[in-house]
Structure 1
Amino acid sequence: MTAVGQAAPAFTLQASDNQTLSLSQFYGQNVVLYFYPKDQTPTCTTEACDFRDFHSGFAELNTVVLGISPDSVKSHDKFIAKHELPFPLLADPDHQVAEAYGVWVLKKMYGREYMGIERTTFVIDKEGNIAKVWPKVKVKGHVQEVLQFIKEELQS
């Protein structure tokens, strides 16, 4: 997994609302990059809605929120519309970005093994370096913890 202090792996992906976004577009701003397994699932919906509900707090701290999953742009557009998400979701169907960040991992559920996204959040500072990593995220209270970290550690 990409570690604190390292340069965040660069990427360019198709995003919701017919956009193509690159990490380099956001140099000069903090970026919350959160990887999640699947649109419209209960835990992923809770996480996305928490980021939505605290979006203005991130914006006040010059911080952009980006979500990434293997789902299609079409799926992302429906997810955004249904839950009124004010930030882009990026499609990583071949999981190249997830692999670059070390979050495409072997998972187990009901005795079955498969490859998938390990729910992880990265905070990338204004210079493009990893400032904080939350692996194996538990959603309850997570977004507030991310916001607090940015307030305390990245605001000068």
Structure 2
Amino acid sequence: MMISIGDNAPQFTLSTNGGGQFSLADAAGKYLILYFYPKDDTPSCTKEAIRFSEESAALDAQNAMVVGVSRDTVKKHDKFIGKYDLRIPLISDEEGSLCEAFGTWVEKSMYGKTYMGIERATFLISPDGKVLHMWRKVKVPGHVEEVLAQLQSLKS
């Protein structure tokens, strides 16, 4: 199932770092930047998480919150956040249900081998739960700035 702009974002409640839980309803009244990434503590995923953390105040000023999603365990998320002093919550989607709902669990290939993995993708969800914008096959350099620019364009 592919998600499209204008669709209602899928409802979910999943575990986060620090033993918490996060559901779509927790973002009601705010813009939600839900970004999917392959794996904690790998070079591009680390850069992306650090950039979103660095811009958390700017995002907050736009009435937006950012939440990362991977299939790593809560324990791995806790280590990742501690190691890089991240300031964003990370959802553990161990079963892959949220990845499936957003269509980010895809066939990938590396060195001629195909395997299933998370496509790096970001979804901007409106305060009333609609998908406003999506970025597929994200390249990390400049991505957080693109997301901020998109948010700012909604305000003008």
Which range, TM-score by smaller chain?
A: over 0.9
Distance 1:59 1:100 in 2: 26
Distance 1:138 1:21 in 2: 26
Task: Report the secondary structure of 1:4's partner residue.
Answer: coil
**Residue 112 of structure 1: CA displacement?**
1.0
**TM-score, normalised by the number of residues in structure 1:** 0.97
2:55 partner amino acid: F
In the alignment, structure 1 residue 32 sits paired with structure 2 residue 33: yes
1:129 partner amino acid: K
Distance 1:94 1:109 in 2: 23
After superposing on structure 2, the runs of 4+ consecutive aligned residues of structure 1 that deviate more than 4 Å are none
In the alignment, structure 1 residue 7 sits paired with structure 2 residue 8: yes
Task: Report the secondary structure of 1:131's partner residue.
Answer: strand
1:56 alignment counterpart: 57
**Residue 147 of structure 1: CA displacement?**
0.6
Distance 2:33 2:140 in 1: 15
User: Over residues 21-77 of structure 1, what are the superposed CA-to-partner deviations in whole Å (9 max), with x where a residue is unaligned?
Assistant: 111111110000000000000000010011011111001111010000000000000
**Residue 115 of structure 1: CA displacement?**
0.6
Distance 2:11 2:121 in 1: 17
- Unpaired runs of 5+ residues, structure 2, are none
Task: Report the secondary structure of 2:78's partner residue.
Answer: helix
Tell me how large the CA RMSD over aligned residues is: 0.8
In the alignment, structure 1 residue 46 sits paired with structure 2 residue 47: yes
1:91 partner amino acid: S
1:99 alignment counterpart: 100
2:79 alignment counterpart: 78
1:139 alignment counterpart: 140
**Residue 148 of structure 1: CA displacement?**
0.8
